[in-house]
Amino acid sequence: MSQSPVSAQSQEQRVQEFVAGFQALRAEVRKVIVGHDDVINHVLTGLFAGGHVLLEGVPGLGKTLLIKTLAESLELSFSRIQFTPDLMPGDIMGTNMIVEDEAGRKHFQFQRGPIFAHILLADEVNRATPKTQSALLEGMQEGAVTVSGTANPLPLPFFVLATQNPIEMEGTYPLPEAQLDRFLLKLRVQYPALADLTEIIDRTTQVREVSVSRVMTGPRVMTFRELVREVPIAAHVRDLAATIVLASHPQWERAPEATRRFVRYGASPRGAQAIVLGAKVRALSEGRYNVSIEDLRAMALPALRHRIILNFEGEAEGVDVDRLVAQIIEAAENLSTTEKEVFLR
C-alpha cells in the first residue's frame, strides 16, 4: 500500500527537520573545532543513534574540547570525570551517606555521582583501573546504576563520550572487552593537517572570543532518536550488515583468509546494530529516508574497529585493525546471496 500524500509530506518534513538540526549542531561545534569533520559527524551520529562514543588519540588534539563544545550546544546537563589511577567506582556512581534530620535521627541518603547527567565526559578513561572503568558498564547499557540494591535511573538522553590515550602510552590500562562493546563507535582523532594547524594557531593565540549557542533540547534529541529507528532498511542492505559482522568471526565457514589468520574474536551482534543505526543516521543527515550500501561502508569501520580482537599472530605481526576491517567489508560484499550463512558454528 502506497503512502498517502499527507503522510509522505509529513515524513519529508521530519527528515528536513533532522537535517536542519544536524547541520545546526555541527555548525556550532565547528565554531570552536578546526578540521576533524569525520569525527564531528560520527560523534553526532552516536548522539542521535542513542549510543556512546569512544575517541582515541594522543593528548592535545582537541578531543575534550570537542565534547565540551557539543555539550555547550545542547540544553542538557553535563558532567566531566577526569579518570586517574586512584579514582574509585563510588566517585562515578555516588554513594549512600549518613545524614541527620532536624529531629536528630540518622539515616542513609544517596548522594548522586557525576554519572547522573545527560552528557558525561569520561576523560582519559583508560588511565583508571579496570575496576573503576567497569563502573560505567551498567549505566551505559541499562541507563541506570544500582547502589545498595536500588536501581537509580539516569536522565534521558544519556550520552557517554569517553576519551582515551593510545594504550602504548605510559600509565594506561586497556579497556575491558565488555566495556569496549558498550561503545557504539570508536573514533581515532588524527593529527591536524598543515592548513588546520595554522588555523588552530590563529584562533588560539589571538584575542578572539567564540560564543556557542544552544541549538537543541533534550526532548528534540529524543524525537530525532525515534525518527532514526523508523528509517527503513532494504533486506539486501540489512543482510550485508549481518554478513560483514559474520565475516569478522574466524569460525564462520565463509570467513576471509585474513580473519581466519589474525582474528581471535569477531564482533558481537552489537556491531551489526551499530552499523545499521549509524547508517540510518547518516542517511537522514543527507536528507534520505532509506539506507544505502555506501552508508554501511561509511559506518562499518568505526562500529567494528574496537570489537575485533586479534590473536597472537595478529598481535605479533602488528596487524592494523582498520585495514583488516576494510578487507572484511570487501570480502562480505563479494559473497553472493547463496553463499551467505545465517548462523555461527
Q: Shortest CA distance to 41 belongs to which of 23, 59, 56, 55?
A: 23
Q: Is the pLDDT of residue 341 over 70?
A: no
Strand partners, 99: 107
Overall residue count recorded for the chain in this entry: 345
Return the SS3 of 215. Answer: coil
Q: Which domains does the chain have, with CATH numbers?
A: 1-86+115-230 (3.40.50.300), 232-345 (1.10.8.80)
Distances (CA, A) of 91 to 122, 132, 160, 180, 287: 12, 9, 16, 21, 42
Q: Is the pLDDT of residue 118 over 70?
A: yes
The pLDDT tens digits for 283-340 are 999 999 999 999 999 999 999 999 999 999 988 888 899 999 999 999 888 874 545 4
Query: What's the gap between Cα 7 and its chain centre?
Result: 32
Q: Shortest CA distance to 90 belongs to which of 121, 132, 141?
A: 132
- What's the rounded Cα separation, in Å, for the pair 33 and 157? 24
Residue 112, sorted as left (phi over 0), alpha (psi -120 to 50) or beta, turns out to be beta
Lowest-confidence segment of 68-77, 144-153, 175-184 by average pLDDT: 144-153
Contact in structure between 92 and 117 (CB atoms under 8 Å): no
Helices 269-285, 293-304: axis angle to 10 degrees equals 130
pLDDT value at residue 305: 92
Q: Residue range 125-154: average pLDDT?
A: 81
